[in-house]
Structure formats: structure tokens, C-alpha cells
Structure 1
Amino acid sequence: MSSVLTEDRSEERVTRPVWEEAPHPAGLAAKGAILVLACLAVLFPLWIVVVTSLSDAGTITEAGGLVIVPDGITFRSYQELLSGGQVTRATLVSLGVTGFGTLFSMTVSILCAYGLSRPGSLGHRPMLMFLLATMFFGAGLIPTYLLVQSLGLIDSYLALILPSAVSVFNILVLRAFFMGTAPELIDSARIDGAGELRILLQIVLPLSRAVIAVIALFYAVGYWNAWFNASIYLNDQDMMPLQNVLNQLVIKGERPTGLAQTINTGEINTLSIQMAVMVLALIPVAVLSPFVQKHFKKGMLIGAIKG
């Protein structure tokens, strides 16, 4: 009897699926090594950028360019950039456009997605088909520019927000989550006399915090990293956002307004200024992403078990 049980157990061990087997130490070591190399591939360039931005002109000259091993730390580049010149103004412009743009985009997207999530809403299906069509067919750059020009938005900050204010993909994601709200909650709220706006604000939105945080991050990163709209709709250099100034400094090799004399005297290296601007452009995304990451995971989980 014992021999029969032993044979059955051995057969079970042989026929077990691969994913149920205990991980082999060699496999674990290989995975760890791959993860370490991937982290180094991401962090090493960032380390070089940060160290170079914190190095003085002599250290950068001795290194022949980018600095890997720091030899003293100085915040002179950041002090000069944030002393009220072109970069300071561009940073404020980017923060303002990102803040107001994200607020406007989220308001429009949430209202549109909630309306489309209600089966009995007026024009529900034609509006949904119309939005889906815009994902595959676009007007093109020239008609869009002519429209912006006819609306008088050239050299206006609204030109940085309105042309890219709404993403149909984000609306569809919000709509899918709103449709997952329990109908009993909405029906009970209607019985108590709540209108659609109150249902949206007090029931649907609190239950959809995860997806709202993720979509808000998508919009914010899009506005913060956007530079193309400013390059074609803005002619005034004082109105340029940070990404356009970064493009002028790093790609075109231009010097920021107010720092030419400091750079010519050798007090600050041009490369240090370029790296400092890159760090300033990375800080908001690097700070916000960890806080939204937990909501992103929760949103993915809700989408996986919904229905």
C-alpha cells in the first residue's frame, strides 16, 4: 500500500505544471542579476546628469565633459538658474500650464465619461461613436493651426492647453470604471432625491479615486513634457515653457538669458547649466510618480476583477 502511495506522489510531482515548481537557485540568481543590471542602466545616466549639474567648472573641465565621480558639490548652477532669469520664468510657465491644464482636462474628461457611462443619457451611442472615430481620423497639423489662429490663440497660454486638452483614450478608461459602479448605489441615491451631479461627486468619484489619480498623472506628465505646441503657437520667447528652454539649451546649444556673462567668465560651465535644467525638468515627474503608483496598482486590480 505504501509503495502505491509513493508511486502516486511521484507521478504528481512529475506532472505538476512548470509554474508550480519551486524556483531554482540559479534561476533566482539570474533574475536578480538581470534586475540589478536594469536598475543600473536606468540609474547610471541619471547619476551622471545629477553629478555633472552639481560640479564646478574646473571638475567638468578635468573630466573632459560629463562627471562620473564627484569632486565637491556646488549648487551654483541651480542658484543662477532660479535667480529670476529665463529658466525661472519657464519653470513657472510649465507649472501653471500643467496645473490649470490638468484641472481643465480632468473636469471635461470626467463629465464626458460619466455621461457616456449612463445608458439612458441623451445621444449616448452617437457621441461614443463620434469620439471613437477621432482616435483613428485626425484633422492634421495645418487645419489645427488655422483653427487656433482663427480663435486668436497665437501667443496665448490657452494654445498650450486647448488643442490637447482631452484624450479619448482617457475618457474611455474613465467610462469603463464609472460603469463598474454598483447600480444599487446610484438607484438608492436617486430614490433619496440626489441629482446626477451629486451622484457623480459624492458616489462615483470617491469610488474611482484610483483611476482618477492615474488619469490625472497621465495628463500632468503630458502637459509637463509638451513642447511642440509651444514651438508652433508661441512666438514670444518669454512665454516659452521649461521643455522648450531645455530644447534650446541642450539641442540647439543656446545660452539662457542672463547667464551669458557668467558662462563667458568661466564661473559656470555650459554643460553644468544644461544638466541642471534637465534635473529641474525631471523633478516633478519623479516626485509625483511614487505617490500615484499605489493608486495605479489598485486601479489595475479593480479592472481585473470587475464584473
Structure 2
Amino acid sequence: MPSDEPEYDLKVTATTPIAAGVRLLTLARPSGDPLPAWTPGAHLDLLLTPGLVRQYSLCGDPHDPSAYQVAVLRETSGRGGSAHVHDHLAEGDTIRARGPRNHFPLVSSPRYLFVAGGIGITPILPMITEASARGADWRLLYGGRTRTSMAFADRLTRDHPDQVELYPEDETGLLDLHTLLAVPHPDTLVYCCGPEPLLAATEQQCATWPQGTLRVERFVPKPENPTAPRTAFEVELTLTGKTLTVPADRSILQVVEEAGVPILSSCREGTCGTCETTVLDGTPDHRDSLLTEDERAAGDVMFICVSRATSPRLVLEL
């Protein structure tokens, strides 16, 4: 998207350990003014330091405009974002933010099956609240390394004892998705978030379910197909009047930036959705970890940090 998405200040009103290695941040406007509205599945960009931008799923109450909440897992092999949150952010600090934006929306359905692994519970939590409010049937399969590492586990089992199933790995082993997802359930959407092995296993088990049943959100990019072609193509930018060549070894985003066209980006790996761009003509080669199969087939938006073209030319609204 163009680089005009507004940034704003958020004040850390509380920072609370809620599970082993997990800290819950509560954020509000310093002025006390209402925050931008959001829906279950949305995430927020936090500009932690210059050059350190991270996306975190909102896990609080969408109907409370006074505060946002995000839960952050300390990643021992991460790139510095979670360590900064855990070691440097304190109550009273102010940080910049963008968003929220939602590429993992809760689509209306009479039934839901939620599958969460570890910190992947965060976008699922407000979905459960919304599904309950809608009167939908739902069930949660929640796995983690240990019971003490599973954020919100006590709350979920207390509030929904008949619908929540916990699978701490040290007690039960890994989620037995082969059994749990063996039989497709009619009129059911499956929402899954967590580490890549869980997502890949859920995708495999849901392959026999009706098309469009499964919705996933990834924190890291989906493994790239090593045989995917990389050829040069042209992009026409309608708002700036430029036509640029994207070589095989460069991304659209890199070429557009080098041409002096401002565009907002963050992860640069197809997971955050910040660089979403409207496609006016041509056929995108979608390589992101966000779009559903139906959205890919529509071909009207793409994420230019990773996606390319199967046509010789793309016309983009940039």
C-alpha cells in the first residue's frame, strides 16, 4: 500500500507475564482517545525501535476502544522484536504503531473448529468470543510445549470447559491431527494459527475437506517452492506513470523502492500484509503466506515483497 498509512503513539499501560515466556502488553492512547476499531484476526504493527517493526495479533476485546492487548512470546532464536518487548518495554513507555489490519478475518459460519499451537492462540482468542456471541458452535484444539507455556489456557478451560481441549506436549504428545481431523465436519470452517509444522499438518489433513474450509495465519513465511520459476517481467505503475523492469533476482518491492516510489512495507517475506497492492491488469504469481485460494484466483491484489508475475506485464495501482 502507499506509504501514507498513519502512525500514532501508544502508551504501555501494563506489561504482565501470563505464561512461561509470554508477556501481555496493554496499550492505550496517551490522550485517552478511542483507538481505531478492529475485528477478530487483526494484527497491529509496533514500531519498537527505528528499523525494528513487528506485527502482533490483537487478543483483547474488539468492543473496547480504550485499549489494545497483544501477547508476545520470547523467541530465543528470533530477530530481536520479542527480546525488546520483554527486556526493554515498561509500563509508561510510548511506542509508535500502525494499523490494525486484518488478513485473517472470521467469516460467518454455523460451526468453527479452531486449532492453535503455542502463541498462535492470540488471534484465535477474540474469534472464540465472537463465535460465542454469534451463537455458533465451536471447538478449540490447543497444543503447546507445556501447560505452563500455554497462554490463556486456564481462562479458556474455565470459561468453556466443554469446548476447549488442551494438548500439552509433555503430557499428551503432539496434537493427533490425523485422528482429530480425519472426518470432515459439514458447515464448518477451520481456523489454524501456530508454528509451521502444525500449519503444514493441518493443511495436509484438511485436504479432503471441502474447498475453502481451512483458514491459516503464519508468523513465518510458508516454505518456498524451489522449482518456482523466476523470470523478468514489467510492472506499470498507474499512479506515478512509471514502467519498470523487475529482473529475476529482484522483488517488485525492491525495484519500486529503487525507482523512488514510496510504499509501506514491513516483513518483506509475505506474512504481514503491509505491502498489499491492487492489481489492475496481468496475472500475479502469488508467493505470499496470506491469501486464500479464492483470493489468489481473483488476482486483484498481491503482496509485492515476494509475489511475482506469470504474465509478461503487471499493471499496479502504485
**Which bin holds the TM-score, normalised by the shorter protein?**
under 0.3
Larger Rg: 1
| TM-score, with structure 2 as normaliser | 0.23
Higher relative contact order (CA 8 A, sep 6+): 1
Give the TM-score, by structure 1 length.
0.24
Q: Name the one with the larger strand percent.
A: 2
The structure whose residues are more often helix, as a share, is 1
